[in-house]
Structures are given as structure tokens and as C-alpha cells.
């Protein structure tokens, strides 16, 4: 309560909306959500609330787990991800949620865990688990016996696919975290790999970041609309790049585009010195092309392709026209308000990972707002219900695909200076929901939740 | 439903008003990207004048005697006062940061404005040009409505998805009611018995009994061949001297009329997206 009031006053006086909350010890998190479970039962929102209840607040713990290896050499400084990428989006969502929570009796808290590799996270979780379990046993016996009624911790996962991190290893990671936090609800906020969505139907895992398939379909719809048929694809060396390329190949087939050539980036010259001489050579093909698709998640080369390809044609994908879950130039449908809240707090633009984290917290905050059950089972039931929708500044309600647990959403097609449009583009129809012209709706996933 | 009415709703306007003081009806449209106000002759539908106003003009209302207009200049953090006989800005009012929408109390001297970026409602006294009170409300306050008897006002918050009920005497937030996603417009019925609130993303209209602040009905809209996520109710307008209200339904180009007593629904197709 005090925190909510304080932040409002501070905002009014200084315009600063952000109070970063980073707790270092994982056990503190565990204990605080165990404590809060009891408080929540007393603070269930009723239909018409009297203002500013003084009763104890339920606390919903958000844990942002970032596995960020060092960026590979060659990435220009100006293209490196901001260090608070993702957590900044979660913070803004939490601030919004806590203004609402002030009226309804709950608050969200953010904890960040950042490790260089999955191996270290597994080790650190195992250690924390042991530690928290023993302290929970020592001090909170009565609470641990009542775990069934617990508010689920919300775990946001930020890890890209790499040679070391495969979709399968992320599932193992979830299993590991579940040993410590058995009732957590997981949100993938950074990984677009479609493979990661294959088995999601049986996991308490949702994807707020669009899949590569959704992004590739959005680009393909733009190609079709512009009557561009012949595409040259260039991809980098990471597993992420291979995943985007695979998705694009599938889209090309679906939308009848022709891939005239596919080529991997080889790092064979210095882009700082030789780009104008070498890129045209690198992008020279035997057949002509009308556009270049790039998959380059590590920002190794795609940035140097626009206005420099052998055939002077549009570049899309990792540079030029990008298909994104969010772009800072999007202002419609109230988005300008969210953009300015974000900019005012962090002095930088909101990117799609920030937005995916914002969405994940907002999905749970919305459930809290509606007075839904906030246990793991309760949240899963709410999010997977047939009528689930979520407002998200995108002009139409978002919903969740039952097999992939992917948030259906419009995809921004944008370049550095402006939003071009949102996909699905006009004319691409679907029998139930036009958003399902982007990405796949079904998988072979069995044992659906 | 006359063509004129449909066109009004269909225009890309933030707000409009028809001052009765003029012999010829005129509509005023705030242009938030142009920092101007367009004046439209409602007999010919031509823009007859474009007036420069403060930065990012959005909300617009007329004074009680219809001699002046109050304009939210959002990026200037002020409410501007325009003399309608000369179309010149004659003064301004403090508003708090980023005023978006604006409503006038029936007493003619109190103005309410929603400070969208700060989750605040600001209450302003016109004669003294002073802020009387700032009230904490939900995230992105938007729709404002003052009851006709002046005792109560409400503000909707787009991201908190609530209607906040404010006592106009004490400026206290006395209750908060949840509605469906992204509530936009709010209207009290003429007898103040009910409050109507449109939820754009939720696709519903909630009707509250003012006395108890309880939801008594939720209107939803099933339109043949239109997927439910494209039904986005927003603007509510009561038709003068008729027991009808009209509701704009978003991107599939329909508005709906319904009787305010038994909620019979009729859909009307219009030429472009009714906001």
C-alpha cells in the first residue's frame, strides 16, 4: 500500500515512474510469495470496491530470468541490446498493475535473475532451492503445508536459441525451475523459435513474443501485397537465424514466393572498411531477385545490406523492414501513452522484448483485476478459456492459441523511422480469426492441459 | 438515422459540438497532429475555417452558455478558452499534465479533465482558474461523464478497466467498478438512473444503476459475418428528444441504435470506421 501511494506521489512531483526492485536472494522471493498467499485470500476483489482499501495486499511475484551470454564479436555497439531489455517492460507493466492493484488489494513485485548460461542458472537454482526449502521448513511450516492455495509466481524467460540453448533445453530448464517453483506460470518473452512452441500445450508456458512463423508470414503478406515474388535469403550462424530462415521458407511456400538463392554469412571481410565494395559482391546471385530476406539475430551483417545489395532492392527481416511484436513508432490505439510512459522512465524506446514482458505481466495482472484465481491452475484456466481476450494497444483483442500457447497478435511491419502497417494485411482471410493467417495454430503436441 | 448523423460519427474527429448560438450549425473538430481546430459548416459539410490552437488539441467542450469553448491542449499541459464569436483564444486554465478529455459540471463553473499519462483526474474552477483537486484514478483515464443533477461524476480508465465514481462535492473517489477491457465512453441517462459505459476491446457496453453502482446489464453485439474481436463499441451519443441512443461499433463500419428503455438493438452500416 505504502509503496503504491509513494510511487503515485513521486510521479506527480518528478514524472519518474520507476522504482527498480532487484532482490539478490532467490529465497526471499520464495518466502515473500508464500507469505502473500494467505494475504490474498483476505483481499479478493468484489464487484464494486470502496476506494483504497487498507487491508493487507496480496503480492504476486514476477521473476525475470535472463540468460545472456556475451554478445558475439562483430556486433556494433549501437546495435547491442540495452541491459534492461525486457525487465524495463515488465517494470512498466508492474507499475500499471499496481495502480489498479491499489484499488483492488494486490501488488506485483519484480525480481531479476541474470546469468551468463543455462548451466549456471541450473546450478544457482538448485542451490537456492535447497536453501529456500530449508529456511521455509524452519520458519514457515504452516505456510508450506498450505501450498495448494498459493499465488503462482510468474516467471518470465528471456533466452534466445543458440548452439547451446535449444528448444529442448529450454523445456529441461522449465522442469528444473519447476523443482524449485512447482506452481509457477512461465512466459517466454524473447525466443521466437517455433520449435519451442511444439510441446507447449502440455506445459504451463505461454509465448508473448511472436513466433518466427508469425513474423515470416507477416513479411510474406507484405511481399504478396507489393507483388514481390523473387527473394534472396541471407542468414547468420546462430540457431536463432536457422529457425527464422526455416520459418521464412515455410512462409514462402505458403504464400507462393520463390526463393532464388539462400546464402549463409561467412564473416569473410571487415564490414567497417569494406562494406561498399564487398556487400554487392556477396549479394550477387546468378538469378535476379526483387528483395532480400535476412535472418541475423546477433546483428552481425544484416545492418549493412540496405542500399548496398547487388540489385538495389528492399531488405527485410533483421534489417530494413522488420516484422516485430512491437515498434516504438507505433502510436495508434492508445499505444502512444504506453510508449511515452516507457520513454519517460527509461530514456529509450520500447522494443518487442520489452513489450512481450509487458504483455506477460499484464496478462496475469488482468486476471488479478478480474478477481480470477491466481494459483497456477487458476491462471492456466483463465488464459486457456475459449473466451480469453487481452487488450494490448494493438487495435484488437489478443487471445491465445490452444495448441502452441502463443499469444495471437498483430505484427508490426516497421523500419527504423516509421511503422509501415500491422499484419495481417487486408485481403488475407481466415475462416475464424484473421490473426491466424500469421503463424501456425496446430502442432503435434499431445497431452494438452 | 440521417445521413448527416452517420457522417458526423464517421469523420476522423476527436470531438465535435454544435453550438446553438449560431444560425448555421457548425461542427468543431480538434486535429491533434496539426495543432489546429477545423470548423465545418454542417449544411455544406465544408471546412470553413482552420484555427491554430495549442499543442496536440484533443478534448473539446462548449461552455454552459455556448459562448466559449474549452480545448485540451495535451502537449501544452493547458486547457485553452476560445471565444466562439471571434474564434480567438482568450485565456487558459491549468490542467495538470497531458489533459485528454474534458467535461463540464452543470453548474457551468467546474471542469473535469483526465490526465492520461499520470492516472489522475483534475478538477478545475473556471472563474478563479485554479486546480481545486487532483484525484488518483486508474491507468489511462479517458471517458468522463457528469450526472445531470451534478452530484456524481465518473471517469473510465482504459488500462485499469474500471469506472471510478467521484463525489462532486467532496472530490472523493467513492467506488470503483470493473468493466470489460478498455472502457472508453461513459454516459448517464437523462434521468441519471443509469450509467452506460462502452468497452472497446471487451466488445460490450455495461449498464450500471447509479444509486447502487451495481452492473445491471451487459450489452454484447453479435453481428453476422463479423468476427467478435472486430466489434469494438466506443462512442455513445443520445439522440435529441428521442428514446434512442447510438453507439459506434468500430472497424467493421457499423453503428447501432437502441432504445434506452428496453435495449432493442438495430445495426446501421456506415461508410467508414465510426470512431
d(CA A91, CA A82): 15
The model's pLDDT over A350-395, given as tens digits with 9 standing for 90+, comes to: 999 999 999 999 999 999 988 889 999 999 999 999 889 898 999 8
The verdict on A297 and A383 lying in the same domain is no
Most A CBs within 10 A among B33, B55, B143, B159, hence the mutation to make, goes to B159
- Enumerate the residues of chain A whose CB falls inside 8 A of the CB of residue B77: none
- Chain B: give the shortest CA distance to residue A335, in Å: 11
Torsions phi, psi of A7, nearest 5? -70, -35
Per-residue pLDDT of chain A (449 residues; tens, 9 = 90+): 333 333 333 333 333 333 333 333 343 344 344 334 333 433 344 444 444 444 578 899 999 998 876 677 888 889 989 999 999 999 999 999 999 998 888 999 999 988 887 777 777 666 655 555 554 444 333 333 334 348 999 999 998 777 666 767 778 888 888 888 889 999 999 999 998 898 888 899 999 999 999 999 999 999 999 999 999 999 999 889 999 999 999 999 999 999 999 999 988 777 877 888 899 999 999 999 999 999 999 999 999 999 999 999 999 999 999 999 999 999 998 899 999 999 999 999 999 999 999 999 999 999 998 888 999 999 999 999 988 989 899 988 999 999 999 999 999 999 999 999 999 999 999 888 899 999 988 777 877 77
pLDDT given at position A28: 38
Show which of A324, A340, A369 is a domain's final residue.
A324
Element (H, E) at A11: helix A2-14
Q: In the structure, what pLDDT confidence band is assigned to residue B227 with cuts at 50, 70 and 90?
A: confident
Whole-number Å distance between alpha carbons of A429 and B235: 28
- Residue A421 covered by a domain: no
Residues A178 and A297 in one domain: no
Q: Which chain A residues contact residue B162 at CB under 8 A?
A: 100, 103
Q: Domains for chain B: give ranges and CATH numbers.
A: 1-136 (2.130.10.10)
**Chain A residue with Cα closest to B178:** A47
Q: Are residues A307 and A359 in the same domain?
A: no
Put simply, the answer to whether B175 touches A396 (Cβ < 8 Å) is no
Give the per-residue pLDDT at A50: 44
Eight-state DSSP code of residue B216: E
Q: Is B9 a residue whose pLDDT tops 80?
A: no
Residues A257, A223: contact at Cβ < 8 Å? yes
- Tell me which residue of A196, A173, A190 sits closest to A124, measured CA to CA: A173
Which of A271, A292, A324 is at the close of a domain? Answer: A324
Give yes or no for B182 touching A (CB within 8 A).
yes
Total domains, chain A: 2
> A334 and B140: CB-CB below 8 Å?
yes
Q: Tell me, yes or no, whether A295 and A148 share the same domain.
A: no
Q: Same domain, yes or no, for A355 and A301?
A: no
Contact A337 B116 (CB under 8 A): yes
Across the interface, whether the CB atoms of B138 and A99 are under 8 A apart is answered: yes
Residue A419 lies in a domain: no
Best of B55, B140, B178 to substitute, by most chain A Cβ atoms within 10 angstroms, is: B178
Which residues form the domain of A304? Answer: 213-324
Q: What is the CATH number of the domain that holds A247?
A: 3.40.50.2300
Specify the long-range contacts of residues A265-270, CB closer than 8 Å, at least 24 apart.
Answer: A265/A234, A265/A235, A265/A236, A265/A237, A265/A296, A265/A300, A265/A301, A267/A74, A267/A237, A267/A300, A267/A301
- Do A279 and A149 share a structural domain? no
Amino acid at each position: 500500500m505504502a509503496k503504491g501511494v509513494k510511487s503515485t506521489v513521486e510521479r506527480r512531483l518528478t514524472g519518474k515512474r520507476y522504482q527498480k526492485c532487484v532482490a539478490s536472494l532467490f529465497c526471499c522471493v520464495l518466502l515473500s510469495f508464500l507469505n502473500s498467499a494467505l494475504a490474498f485470500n483476505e483481499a479478493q476483489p468484489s464487484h464494486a470496491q470502496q476506494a483504497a482499501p487498507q487491508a493487507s495486499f496480496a503480492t504476486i511475484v514476477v521473476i525475470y530470468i535472463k540468460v545472456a551470454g556475451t554478445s558475439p564479436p562483430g556486433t556494433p555497439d549501437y546495435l547491442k541490446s540495452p541491459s534492461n531489455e525486457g525487465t524495463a517492460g515488465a517494470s512498466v507493466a508492474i507499475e500499471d498493475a499496481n495502480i489498479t492493484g491499489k484499488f483492488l488489494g494486490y501488488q506485483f513485485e519484480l525480481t531479476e535473475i541474470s546469468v551468463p548460461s543455462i548451466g549456471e542458472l541450473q546450478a544457482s537454482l538448485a542451490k537456492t532451492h535447497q536453501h529456500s526449502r530449508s529456511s521455509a521448513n524452519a520458519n514457515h511450516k504452516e505456510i508450506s503445508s498450505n501450498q495448494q492455495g498459493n499465488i503462482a509466481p510468474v516467471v518470465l524467460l528471456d533466452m534466445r536459441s543458440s548452439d547451446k540453448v535449444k528448444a529442448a533445453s529450454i523445456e529441461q530448464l522449465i522442469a528444473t525451475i519447476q523443482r524449485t517453483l512447482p506452481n509457477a506460470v512461465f512466459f517466454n518473452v524473447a525466443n521466437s523459435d517455433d520449435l519451442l512452441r511444439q510441446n507447449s500445450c502440455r506445459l504451463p508456458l505461454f509465448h508473448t513474443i511472436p513466433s518466427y512463423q508469425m513474423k515470416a508470414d507477416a513479411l510474406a503478406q507484405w511481399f504478396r501485397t507489393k507483388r514481390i515474388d523473387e527473394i534472396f535469403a541471407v542468414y547468420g550462424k546462430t540457431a536463432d537465424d536457422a529457425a527464422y530462415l526455416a520459418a521464412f521458407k515455410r512462409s514462402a511456400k505458403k504464400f507462393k514466393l520463390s526463393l532464388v538463392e539462400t546464402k549463409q554469412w561467412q564473416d569473410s571481410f571487415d564490414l567497417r572498411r569494406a562494406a561498399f565494395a564487398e556487400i554487392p559482391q556477396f549479394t550477387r546471385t546468378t538469378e535476379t531477385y526483387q528483395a532480400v530476406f535476412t535472418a541475423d539475430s546477433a546483428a552481425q551483417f544484416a545492418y549493412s545490406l540496405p542500399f548496398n545489395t547487388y540489385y538495389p532492392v528492399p531488405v527485410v527481416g533483421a534489417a530494413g523492414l522488420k516484422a516485430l511484436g512491437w515498434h516504438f513508432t507505433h502510436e495508434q490505439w492508445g499505444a502512444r501513452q504506453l510508449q511515452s510512459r516507457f520513454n519517460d522512465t527509461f530514456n529509450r524506446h520500447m522494443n518487442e522484448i520489452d513489450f512481450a514482458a509487458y504483455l506477460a505481466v499484464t496478462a496475469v495482472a488482468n486476471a488479478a483485476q478480474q478477481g480470477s484465481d491466481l494459483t497456477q491452475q487458476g491462471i492456466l484456466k483463465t488464459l486457456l478459456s475459449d473466451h480469453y481476450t487481452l487488450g494490448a494497444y494493438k487495435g484488437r483483442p489478443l487471445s491465445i492459441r490452444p495448441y502452441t500457447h502463443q499469444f495471437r497478435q498483430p505484427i508490426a511491419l516497421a523500419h527504423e523511422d516509421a511503422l509501415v502497417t500491422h499484419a495481417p494485411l487486408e485481403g488475407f482471410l481466415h475462416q475464424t480469426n484473421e490473426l491466424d493467417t500469421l503463424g501456425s495454430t496446430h502442432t503435434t503436441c499431445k497431452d494438452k492441459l | 438515422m440521417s445521413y448527416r448523423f452517420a457522417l458526423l460519427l464517421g469523420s476522423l474527429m476527436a470531438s465535435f459540438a454544435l453550438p446553438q448560438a449560431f444560425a448555421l450549425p457548425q461542427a468543431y473538430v480538434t486535429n491533434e497532429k496539426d495543432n489546429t481546430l477545423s470548423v465545418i459548416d454542417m449544411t455544406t459539410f465544408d471546412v470553413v475555417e482552420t484555427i491554430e490552437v495549442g499543442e496536440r488539441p484533443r478534448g473539446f467542450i462548449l461552455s454552459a452558455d455556448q459562448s466559449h469553448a474549452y480545448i485540451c491542449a495535451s502537449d501544452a499541459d493547458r486547457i485553452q478558452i476560445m471565444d466562439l464569436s471571434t474564434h480567438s483564444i482568450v485565456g487558459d486554465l491549468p490542467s495538470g499534465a497531458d489533459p485528454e478529455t474534458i467535461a463540464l459540471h452543470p453548474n457551468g463553473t467546474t471542469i473535469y479533465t483526465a490526465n492520461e499519462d499520470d492516472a489522475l483526474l483534475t478538477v478545475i474552477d473556471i472563474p478563479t482558474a485554479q486546480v481545486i483537486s487532483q484525484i488518483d484514478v486508474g491507468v489511462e483515464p479517458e471517458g468522463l461523464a457528469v450526472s445531470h443533477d451534478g452530484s456524481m461524476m465518473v471517469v473510465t480508465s482504459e488500462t485499469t478497466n474500471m469506472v471510478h465514481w467521484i463525489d462532486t462535492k467532496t472530490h472523493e473517489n467513492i467506488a470503483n467498478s470493473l468493466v470489460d477491457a478498455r472502457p472508453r465512453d461513459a454516459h448517464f441517462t437523462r434521468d441519471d438512473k443509469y450509467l452506460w459505459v462502452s468497452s472497446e476491446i471487451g466488445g460490450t457496453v455495461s449498464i450500471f444503476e447509479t444509486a447502487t453502482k451495481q452492473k445491471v446489464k451487459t450489452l454484447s453485439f453479435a453481428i453476422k459475418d463479423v468476427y467478435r474481436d472486430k466489434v469494438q463499441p466506443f462512442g455513445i451519443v443520445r439522440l435529441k428528444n428521442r428514446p434512442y441512443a447510438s453507439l459506434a461499433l468500430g472497424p467493421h463500419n457499423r453503428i447501432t441504435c437502441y432504445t434506452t428503455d428496453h435495449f432493442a438493438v438495430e445495426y446501421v452500416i456506415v461508410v467508414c470506421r465510426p470512431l
